[in-house]
Structures are given as structure tokens and as C-alpha cells.
Amino acid sequence: MGSVVWLVPAFLTTVYRFGAFSVVRRCMKITTGQEYAAKIINTKKLSARDHQKLEREARICRLLKHPNIVRLHDSISEEGFHYLVFDLVTGGELFEDIVAREYYSEADASHCIQQILESVNHCHLNGIVHRDLKPENLLLASKSKGAAVKLADFGLAIEVQGEQQAWFGFAGTPGYLSPEVLRKDPYGKPVDMWACGVILYILLVGYPPFWDEDQHRLYQQIKAGAYDFPSPEWDTVTPEAKDLINKMLTINPAKRITASEALKHPWICQRSTVASMMHRQETVDCKSMLACVSSRKQEIIKVTEQLIEAINNGDFEAYTKICDPGLTSFEPEALGNLVEGMDFHRFYFENALSKSNKPIHTIILNPHVHLVGDDAACIAYIRLTQYMDGSGMPKTMQSEETRVWHRRDGKWQNVHFHRSGSPTVPIK
């Protein structure tokens, strides 16, 4: 990073999240030693419109300063790259934390949604509509008990004037889209409150109010506001909680509850007397909350393991079936260059990997998968490679790797690879 305030890219090792042209890595402020998260955007491939979106995201994030929003500390532009330096949040996603809890009650759900509403209210007071409220963008500041919920990722956020309603384009995640967006009507701040209603519903029972594998039927459900509170899981939920959901999932955006109004709702502001303290084991046990996400994350881990197995076996044919022909890679062997295509990799398969008869064993540690929509994902992990050197002594190499995957025709393909640390081929 060009700024003298932050450490250089060589130290930006841990990948947390990613987008089409960006990764988020850990960095450190030189003057204090405090760690932050740097979103690194490759601007060389951005269109003029993408540049405008980046400028808008930075402008919006600079404006928002709230304990329940991931804060932007610096914005640095260099030739070919732009860096956005945010709070480092290490607690993971809120929903993953809830599933891991031993005790979880309606009152806990109330506390969670209150923090989300506080962040949304701050956005709306500053003329910002997030447009992509969903579980993946709700993070915990740390792994400590009671850590603050923080709203992240303002890549789709827009600026509005007051209660302005306009057609800002189709944006968001299918299950969290509001009826007015699906109808392509003018919209504004109420779209965030609809998404809050979907999130609150999931927080209470572990599955969404609208669901269908067919997207057209899903959208029909949403436009009709076709949800209910089925028995038995909703029987123990208080009427006040259901009332707040109904006010959030009101089809008419003009009649939908606002963030400031929701914060004054009895289920929020009188939590200790209104929200139930009973443990909701069925919610914690409900795999629906993470089933779809978890299964896709497991798919990414599995296909990554298959790719590494092909490398260990020196099987270039299997490797090419898993990789996109235009695979881009950034690794030590390329001497700082971004390499495109398979020829660079073919050399190692034909001249080193395939001719090695020494056993190679690989362990993937701390895999972290981030999903982007239904057909893109990134996995970051530590790779330990065990092998025997020329003298017969066991050796271990370590590297930190990131792979970007796209799903095409139902098949996951590796489209980008980044590695820091040891080379692919064990040194003889």
C-alpha cells in the first residue's frame, strides 16, 4: 500500500471476503500497530461505471460512523489499485454464531435486531439505503460473548434525498428483495425495512418467510406477501414479535414501519418484559438457517480438495477439468506477475509434479468460504504440504492460498488463484 500509514502488501496475508475485482486482507497501522481490514480493489479491470460505484461506496462509508457499522478509516488510490481500510471484525457471521450458541431466546433475537435497526436507522438518517441487508453482511466485532453486531458491505448502497422514491435499478439478494423492487416500482428506504423483516423472521425460527427453489415462484410469494407463522415453531413466539414482523413485511412501502419507529416497538424497547426468555432450541437446531449456505460452502471446500489432489498426483488432465481455461494466478513462481491461462501451470505438471514419485500429503487448515450470490465463491486457507526431501527426511511447507470459484452449467471452476509462501513443487 502506497500510504506511509499502512503496511505494504507483503504483509496483507489473511483473506476474509472478496468481490469480483477485490479481496479483503488484514493490515496494520504503522503508527499504532493496530490491525484493520483492507479492501483491495483492482481498478485496472473496472469500467467507468464501476469506478463511479467505487467512488460512491467510499463516499458513503466515510459518512457513516456508528458502533453497529463497519467503519471506514482510510481510502487510498494508487495506479491500478484502490484501498479501503475498514475496522477489522473477527467474530464471523451473526447467524453462524447463533447456531453455535448453547442458549438462545426471543430476547436474544430482539437484541440482535435492535442492533441491526440501529445501524439501518443511522444509514437512513444520513440519506443512505443499504439495499443488500442479509445474514452474510451482519458480522460480529469479535468472538467475545456479547460482541456488537456490525453491518458491512455497502457496495450496493445508494444515496437518497429525504424520503425520495425512485427506480435505482434492480439490486439485492433474491430472498430479501422487497415487493416494490420486484415490481420495478420507485423505491427508497423501506426496502431495507422489508429485509429487516425477513432477517427477524429467520432469527426467530431459523428459516425464511419466503422460499422456493424456483426464483419466479419465490418472487411471486414475495410480491403477494405470502408468508405465515406455522405451528408448532411459532406457537411459542410472542404476539409482539409477530406484530413487528407484520409491520416490517407490509407490502405497501408507504405503510411499512420505519427504522426509528421499529426501535420504539415494545418488543424492542421493552425487551425485558415483552420478549420471551425461553430457550429456543428448535431455532438453534434448525439447519435451514445455514443449510443452503453451509452446503455450498462444503461444495467449495470439496472441489478445492479435489483440485489439490490433482496437483499432488501430477494429473494435469484432472486439473484442467476443474480450472477455467482463462485462470489467472498470482504466485511466487510468477515473480510478482499476474499469469493468465494454463501454459504456466502445464510446465510444472510436465516437468516436476508428474515425474515425482515421492508421496505428497496436503492438509487444508482454517478454510474460510465467502459466497457471492449463487454462482460465485472464494475460499481462503492455509495449505500444509508434507513430503520427503532428497535425503529422505520429512519436510513440511506452508502457504496461504485464495481461490475464486464460479459455477457455470452447474459445475464449479477455479477462475483465480493467489498464493503467498512456499512454491507448489517441493524443493529437492
Q: Which pLDDT value is given to residue 198?
A: 96
User: Is 132 a residue of the active site?
Assistant: yes
Indicate whether 13 pLDDT > 50.
Answer: no
The pTM score is 0.69
Instruction: Tell me which of 404 and 336 has the higher pLDDT.
Output: 404
Contacts of 184 (CB under 8 A, 6+ apart): 167, 170
Catalytic option among 97, 108, 132, 153: 132
The Cα–Cα gap between 274 and 36 comes to 39
Report the pLDDT averaged over residues 245-268. 98
Q: What is the mean pLDDT of the chain?
A: 84
Question: Percentage of the chain with pLDDT > 70?
Answer: 86
Tell me the Ramachandran region of residue 273: left when phi exceeds 0, alpha when psi lies from -120 to 50, beta otherwise. alpha
Query: Taking residues 254-274, what's their average pLDDT?
Result: 95
Residue 101 neighbours by CB under 8 Å, 6+ apart: 108, 284
What distance in Å separates the CA atoms of residue 286 and residue 234, rounded to the nearest whole number? Answer: 13
> How far apart are alpha carbons 117 and 337 in whole angstroms?
45
Segment 312-325 mean pLDDT: 87
- Picking from 45-54, 71-80, 84-93, 181-190, which range would have the lowest pLDDT averaged per residue? 45-54
CA neighbor of 211 nearest in space, from 203, 219, 200, 223: 219
Q: How far apart are CA 245 and CA 113, in angstroms?
A: 11
Banded model confidence at residue 99, pLDDT cuts 50, 70, 90: confident
Which grid coordinates belong to 147? 460482541
Specify the DSSP class assigned to residue 66.
-
Tell whether the model's pLDDT for residue 287 goes beyond 50. Answer: no
Q: What is the pLDDT of residues 177-210, one digit of tens each?
A: 999 999 999 999 999 999 999 999 999 988 899 9
Paired strand residues for 307: none
Is pLDDT larger for residue 159 or for residue 370? 159
Q: Which residues pair with 365 in a beta bridge?
A: 382
Distance CA 389, CA 294 (A): 38
Rounded to 5 degrees, what are φ and ψ at 242?
-65, -35
Helices (H), 76-162: 94-100, 106-125
Which residue stretches of 271-427 are H helix?
271-274, 281-285, 288-312, 316-322, 343-348
**pLDDT at 281 exceeding the cut of 70:** no
**What are 25's strand-pairing partners?**
15, 38
